[in-house]
Amino acid sequence: MLDIDKLSLNIPDTKKPRVVIIGGGFGGINLAQKLECKDFQVVLLDRQNYHGFWPLLYQVATAGLEPDSIAEPLRKMFSSDEFEDFHFRLVKVTGVNPATKTVSTIIGELHYDYLVIATGTKSNYFGNEQVKKNAFPLKQIPHALNLRSQLLQCFEQATMTADPVLRQSLLTFVIVGGGPTGVETAGALAEMRKHILPNDYPGVDFTKMKIYLIEGMDRVLPPMSPESSAKTLKYLQDLDVIVKLNTLVESYDGYVATIKGGEQINAQTLVWAAGVQGALIDGLPAESVERGRILVNPFNQVLGFDDIFAIGDIAFMKTEKWPKGHPGVAQPAIQQGQLLAKNLKRLITNQKLEPFEYFDKGSLAIIGRNRAVADLPKNIHLGGFFAWLTWLFVHIMYLVGFRNKLVVLSNWIYKFFTYENGTRLIIRPFVRKGDRVKRQFINKYETE
Ligand SMILES: Cc1cc2nc3c(=O)[nH]c(=O)nc-3n(C[C@H](O)[C@H](O)[C@H](O)COP(=O)(O)OP(=O)(O)OC[C@H]3O[C@@H](n4cnc5c(N)ncnc54)[C@H](O)[C@@H]3O)c2cc1C
């Protein structure tokens, strides 16, 4: 048995300033890659051993890509000689103690000279515990694998029932949240329904499969331009996605989604893509946190501290141009990580820090084959094939790891010509907590 008391962070002592980074996401890796190990000892702590490329997570959930093609092991990313004083530890950070300049983990504390919080976000259920318990979130690879299993299990079970009500609820998918994740998931499911599922499940009438996309605001993709929202709505409707705007889901018990106003939708699957909140860590004073994110100055220093920084989604930097903070997308995290590396070097050499200025490269969303939207700088809005090509190119470019780029690109090329998704495997069956019926069903087919 593993005796947890015998584990410790085990970081070598150093005479250099120690930078502790919590989170190996877009912000964390860009900072760590630019920090020079001759000037600093760099310690990266993450609760997972990989960097995840979340923009392609929905393709894992909809059986388009394998999970390992959208993730890169953190140790591999920092294995070359230039990172000789870089140390990764697979551990969840549970607290920050500014008074002692330490972070706490289940296996002990670690002293920092500079601390960088880059923990990103987690799903926000707005206090609705019932939805939290029963919905499928889409924030991490295990979430995508759960959803993939659930989708495939629903299709399998639909072939095995003559009960029309049960079959319809197995074939009804509710996606809550009309942002990029919701739109992209709905589009991918609609394409599966059109090109793949009728061949895989000849006994099932897929004209009956329903995909709802529910959005609380008056348009899909609210962070994008009205032009892109309008195009996206049309693309979704062309794919027979039922889009409900100005609509709020009030409850979901795992079987029935109730919409504010009383409408009920029988669905065994509800995907929650309706909101996120900062993945905060205990220990910072309440004044440093606003709307679930950490308040920072233009140098990403946490309010009240000059040795603690926050970057990426967790950071709340109010500026004249971005009074509600920067958008929760990869670019601000990447750019803040890169600038902070320079600023930490300036800090130890007593130079003036450079304030962060966000360079907005635009936003993209894909709805399906040849259907995408792009808001580019200078008010350029693309739709259709050119936006689709731009989306593919940008995602390959930013995906971390040469092998991943190769695997994803070859998957997409194969899919383009064959309409085939290669990964429709239930590797790890999904059972909702407390769902005895499904557990018994799965047990029957599991081997010892
Ligand atoms: C499904 C999905 C689709 C998206 N699509 C797009 C898109 O198309 N385009 C785009 O630009 N952006 C997209 N985003 C947003 C983008 O991924 C984020 O803005 C970006 O990841 C933010 O980077 P970050 O470094 O702040 O956080 P993250 O990349 O989320 O990284 C946070 C890291 O911190 C770690 N962590 C958290 N808490 C702890 C803890 N207590 N202890 C140790 N480690 C911890 C996590 O394991 C994770 O590795 C999407 C996000 C999701 C979830």
**For 160-176, what is each residue's pLDDT tens digit?**
999 999 999 999 999 99
* pLDDT higher than threshold 80 for residue 54: yes
Closest CA to ligand 1's atom 4: 55
Distance separating alpha carbons of residues 387 and 408, to the nearest angstrom: 18
Average pLDDT over residues 10-39: 96
pLDDT given at position 441 = 57
Distance separating alpha carbons of residues 368 and 187, to the nearest angstrom: 6
* pLDDT higher than threshold 70 for residue 443: no
Do the two domains 14-47+91-123+277-348 and 129-274+369-439 of this chain adopt the same fold?
A: yes
Average pLDDT of the residues of the chain: 95
pLDDT given at position 58 = 97
Average pLDDT over residues 204-216: 97
pLDDT given at position 421 = 74
Cα-based angle 290, 274, 61 (whole degrees, multiple of 5): 125
Secondary structure (3-state) at 197: helix
Average pLDDT over residues 316-337: 96
pLDDT given at position 266 = 97
3.60.15.10, 3.40.190.10, 3.40.50.150, 3.50.50.60: CATH of 14-47+91-123+277-348: 3.50.50.60
Secondary structure (3-state) at 93: strand
Report the amino acid identity of residue 416: F
Closest CA to ligand 1's atom 46: 23
Distance separating alpha carbons of residues 96 and 85, to the nearest angstrom: 23
pLDDT given at position 433 = 73
pLDDT given at position 419 = 87
What is the position in ligand 1's atom list of the atom closest to the CA of 139? Answer: 53
The first and second tokens of residue 235, run together, are 């693309």
Best residue for ligand 1 mutational test, from 90, 184, 313 (most atoms within 8 Å of Cβ): 313
* pLDDT higher than threshold 70 for residue 447: no
Q: Which one, of 300, 330, 298, 337, lies nearest residue 313 by Cα?
A: 330
CA distance to 5, 6, 7, 8, 92, per residue, from 2 (Å): 9, 8, 9, 13, 18
Best residue for ligand 1 mutational test, from 26, 56, 122 (most atoms within 8 Å of Cβ): 26
Average pLDDT over residues 277-302: 97
Which H or E element spans position 169?
Answer: helix 164-170
What is the position in ligand 1's atom list of the atom closest to the CA of 26? Answer: 25
Q: What is the pTM of this model?
A: 0.95
Closest CA to ligand 1's atom 8: 55
Closest CA to ligand 1's atom 51: 54
Secondary structure (3-state) at 102: strand
Average pLDDT over residues 231-236: 98
pLDDT given at position 158 = 97
Rg (CA), the chain: 23
Q: How far is the CA of 330 from the centre of ligand 1 (A)?
A: 8
* pLDDT higher than threshold 90 for residue 274: yes
Catalytic position from the list 72, 184, 191, 215: 184
Q: Which residue has the higher pLDDT, 422 or 78?
A: 78
Distance separating alpha carbons of residues 373 and 365, to the nearest angstrom: 5
Q: Which residue has the higher pLDDT, 103 or 431?
A: 103
* pLDDT higher than threshold 60 for residue 444: no
What is the position in ligand 1's atom list of the atom closest to the CA of 50? Answer: 49
Percent share of the chain, pLDDT over 70: 96
Which H or E element spans position 182?
Answer: helix 180-195
* Per-position DSSP letters for 215-273, written without gaps between them: -SSSSSSTTS-HHHHHHHHHHHHHTT-EEE-S--EEEE-SSEEEETTS-EEE-SEEEE-
* pLDDT higher than threshold 60 for residue 446: no
184 catalytically annotated: yes
pLDDT given at position 78 = 96
Closest CA to ligand 1's atom 28: 25
Q: How far is the CA of 237 from the centre of ligand 1 (A)?
A: 30
Q: How far is the CA of 22 from the centre of ligand 1 (A)?
A: 12
Domain ranges of the chain: 14-47+91-123+277-348, 129-274+369-439
Q: How far is the CA of 333 from the centre of ligand 1 (A)?
A: 9
Q: How far is the CA of 164 from the centre of ligand 1 (A)?
A: 40
**In the sheet where 114-117 sits, what is the strand order?**
86-90, 41-46, 18-22, 114-117, 308-310
Average pLDDT over residues 441-447: 56
> How many CA atoms does the CB half-sphere of 81 hold within 13 Å?
0
Burial of 53: CB neighbours in 10 Å, binned 0-12, 13-18, 19+: buried
Report the amino acid identity of residue 159: T
2.40.50.180, 3.50.50.100, 3.40.50.720, 3.40.50.300: CATH of 129-274+369-439: 3.50.50.100
pLDDT given at position 67 = 95
> How many CA atoms does the CB half-sphere of 351 hold within 13 Å?
9
* pLDDT higher than threshold 80 for residue 445: no
What is the position in ligand 1's atom list of the atom closest to the CA of 364? Answer: 8
Distance separating alpha carbons of residues 52 and 46, to the nearest angstrom: 12
Q: How far is the CA of 222 from the centre of ligand 1 (A)?
A: 20
Closest CA to ligand 1's atom 33: 23
Pocket around ligand 1 at a 6 A CB cut-off? 22-28, 45-48, 54-55, 57, 92-93, 118-120, 138-139, 180-181, 279, 281, 312-314, 328-331, 333
Average pLDDT over residues 10-16: 96
Average pLDDT over residues 344-351: 97
CA distance to 101, 231, 364, 365, 371, per residue, from 381 (Å): 47, 10, 10, 12, 13
Q: Which residue has the higher pLDDT, 138 or 3?
A: 138
* pLDDT higher than threshold 90 for residue 234: yes
Q: How far is the CA of 50 from the centre of ligand 1 (A)?
A: 12
Render pLDDT for 106-117 as a digit per residue (tens, 0 to 9).
999 999 999 999
Average pLDDT over residues 374-399: 95
